[in-house]
Amino acid sequence: MAKFFDALTPAHLEFIAAQKIYFVASAPHAGRVNLSPKGMDTFRVLSATRVGYLDGTGSGNETAAHLLENGRVTIMMCSFTTAPLIFRIYGRGRAVHPGRADWAELRPRFGPPLPGERQLIIAEVESVQTSCGFAVPFFDYRGERETLIDYSVKKGPAGMADYRTKKNQRSIDGLPTGLPVPVTP
């Protein structure tokens, strides 16, 4: 049976700390729903009512576009190894870009620099839901993929800036993402 909470509890924090993968869902008022898997130890709990993740440069920038349009975001984690559990954080989010006032305050909380990092996605928690997860299969964690990091390092800062200018300024539905046009280093 599903249970709802107004904020993250100590048990939730323990569950989150053990996760190797999470999923981010967002949608515009009209257009495609986006659901993206994330990993690489990029998720952080900032408080009982605030979470975020360090977002690497990817093939699109759907979450940022959807947050700019309506702010809605859902983050889901599920247990693949222990007691079954599906865990969702429903919230209102925003993208924080390098060079912005709150970047300097928030970025240090997300660990060492990540080649190709693009922005932070910060969400204010509106509610937390847990549910059974009885049908979620067991999976074993074998490690992180280095592909995105290798790609970012190979392209270098100028190549990544060019890529973001060409591929990350608009969503697949044509919505602006709010990502500043990068200054080529």
Mean pLDDT, the chain, rounded, equals 96
Q: Look at residue 175 and tell me if it is in a domain.
A: no
Considering its fold, how many domains does the chain have in total? Answer: 1
Segment 69-96 shows an average pLDDT of: 97
Contact 117, 57 (CB under 8 A): yes
Q: Look at residue 21 and tell me if it is in a domain.
A: yes
Q: How much is the pLDDT for 183?
A: 59
Q: Could you tell me what percent of the chain has a pLDDT over 70?
A: 98
Q: How much is the pLDDT for 184?
A: 52
State the CATH number of the domain containing residue 93.
2.30.110.10
Segment 167-183 shows an average pLDDT of: 92
Q: Look at residue 183 and tell me if it is in a domain.
A: no
Residue 165 makes CB contacts below 8 A (sequence gap 6+) with 181, 182
Quote the CA–CA distance of 62 and 4 in Å, as a whole number.
Answer: 27
Q: Look at residue 174 and tell me if it is in a domain.
A: no
Q: How much is the pLDDT for 1?
A: 81
Q: Look at residue 184 and tell me if it is in a domain.
A: no
Quote the CA–CA distance of 102 and 113 in Å, as a whole number.
Answer: 17
pLDDT higher than 80, residue 100: yes
Q: Look at residue 118 and tell me if it is in a domain.
A: yes
Q: Look at residue 176 and tell me if it is in a domain.
A: no
Going by their DSSP bridges, the two strands 86-96 and 34-38 should be labelled as unpaired
pTM over 0.85: yes
Kindly report the three-state secondary structure assignment for every residue of the chain. CCEEECCCCHHHHHHHHCCCCEEEEECCCCCCCEEEEECCCCEEEEECCEEEEEEECCCCCHHHHHHHHCCEEEEEEECCCCCCCEEEEEEEEEEECCCCHHHHHHHHHHCCCCCCEEEEEEEEEEEEEEECCCCCCCCCCCCCCCHHHHHHHHHHHHHHHHHHHHHCCECCCCCECCCCCCCCC
Range of the domain at 119: 3-167
Q: Look at residue 106 and tell me if it is in a domain.
A: yes
Contact 85, 79 (CB under 8 A): yes
At 129-171, the pLDDT tens digits run: 999 999 999 999 999 999 999 999 999 999 999 999 999 999 9
